[in-house]
Amino acid sequence: MKKIKAAVLDGINENFKIEKIQINDQLSPHDVRVHIVASGICHTDEAVRNGQGGDFPFPAVLGHEGAGIVTEVGSAVRSTKTGDHVVLCYDYDGYCKNCLNGRPAACINWNRLNMEGTKIDGSVPFYTEDGTPIKMLFNQSSFATETIVDDRNVTVIDSDIDLRKVGPLGCGFVTGSGTVFNGLKPEVGSSIAIFGTGAVGLGALMAAKIAGCSKVICIDIVPKRLEIAKGLGADYVINSKENDAVAEVKKITGGGANYIIDTTGITPVMQQGFDSLASGGIFVPLAVTRHEFKIDHPFADLTAYEKTVKGVLMGEAVPQKAIPELIEFWQQGKFPFDSLEKFFTLDQINEANQASSSGEVIKPVLIIDDDYQPGK
């Protein structure tokens, strides 16, 4: 066993603790060992920490927006090699009917692979110094100086790209953008309203502009975030603390938006989103939450207006396709996600997580390798 440093979470509502832990020396055939350079902090990490994400086993190393450098690969790995620079995303089995149909985010074993704390065979790569197994998140656990993932977690990128910036493409930004590109596929000239302007919401905003939506509306209660949304191209912003969001959306769109995305997971906000929808429109609730959303009168409220409520996981994205596309949009100046990031050290993880939860920072990024230099 090799010793590494990681942020360990011992239970619900506990703080992250920076500890020395052990990692396996041996790799299975499809394993990839990754030296982590940086990792974004995502709302899903906080949802696991505070229990909103459902039951999760502890102790655990969270983190699922990692970026780093491959240092070793298993004997059956063909998708990457030692020295590759990579962005990490969710795991999928690759052989179920949904994966074979090009829908890995709908993998039949998705929850087992990503949210139950172990690899598919029940093993883990991490242990405390006394030998207690430490659980994983997204088969990735990027809040550590080193991790072992499956080759399907890995997307190889050009080595001249700054790894400190691109980790969040593996979850928050791919979820927001992919919901637009893949889940909704909006017609050019259509209208879209996005409730909540965190990383997922702003990712959806940038994608909606790329997709050609003519009326992009962002709703939030934080003025600073609404200003950011305007700077990224929102055509309209609504402070729902000061205005009736439903009435404003209907006024702007002439009766309701064609597409609505909710990223808040708050019951009355989700209801506002659904109520802002045009006839024939699609509503997508994205947040990881235990809060309820109900349709009391399915015929009167849903069927009679041909409205759709759609579940979209991870933006329905194929990571190895979507992440390079987002990088290309970024390089073209169309997807400036890095303007939303703020760097923290691994030792500042609790401060960074609080900054994310409070809305002070859109996308905190933990710099785990302080010695990393882009392009080297």
Whether CATH 3.90.180.10 fits 2-157+336-367 = yes
Task: Give the mean pLDDT of 290-319.
Answer: 94
Query: In b/e form, how buried is each residue of 347-363, taking b as 16+ CB within 10 angstroms?
Result: ebbeebbbbbeeeebbb
Residue 376's pLDDT is what?
Answer: 67
Task: Give the mean pLDDT of 311-318.
Answer: 97
Q: What is the pTM of this model?
A: 0.94
Helix axes of 349-358 and 43-50: crossing angle, nearest 10 degrees? 100
Residue 127's pLDDT is what?
Answer: 97
Task: List Cβ neighbours of 15 (8 Å cut-off, separation of 6 or more).
Answer: 350
Average the pLDDT over each of 68-72, 118-122, 163-167, 312-316 and give the range with the smallest value: 118-122
Residue 54's pLDDT is what?
Answer: 86
**In the predicted model, what is the mean pLDDT of the chain?**
96
Residue 375: which pLDDT band, with cuts at 50, 70 and 90? confident
Are 2-157+336-367 and 177-312 in the same CATH fold? no
Task: Give the mean pLDDT of 315-336.
Answer: 98
% of the chain with per-residue pLDDT over 70: 100
CATH class of this structure's domain 177-312: alpha beta
Closest CA to 141 of 175, 91, 75, 74: 91
Residue 168 token pair? 């969040």
- The span from the CA of 116 to the CA of 54, in Å, is 10
Instruction: Give the tens place of pLDDT for each residue, 199-224.
Output: 999 999 999 999 999 999 999 999 99
Domain residue spans of the chain: 2-157+336-367, 177-312
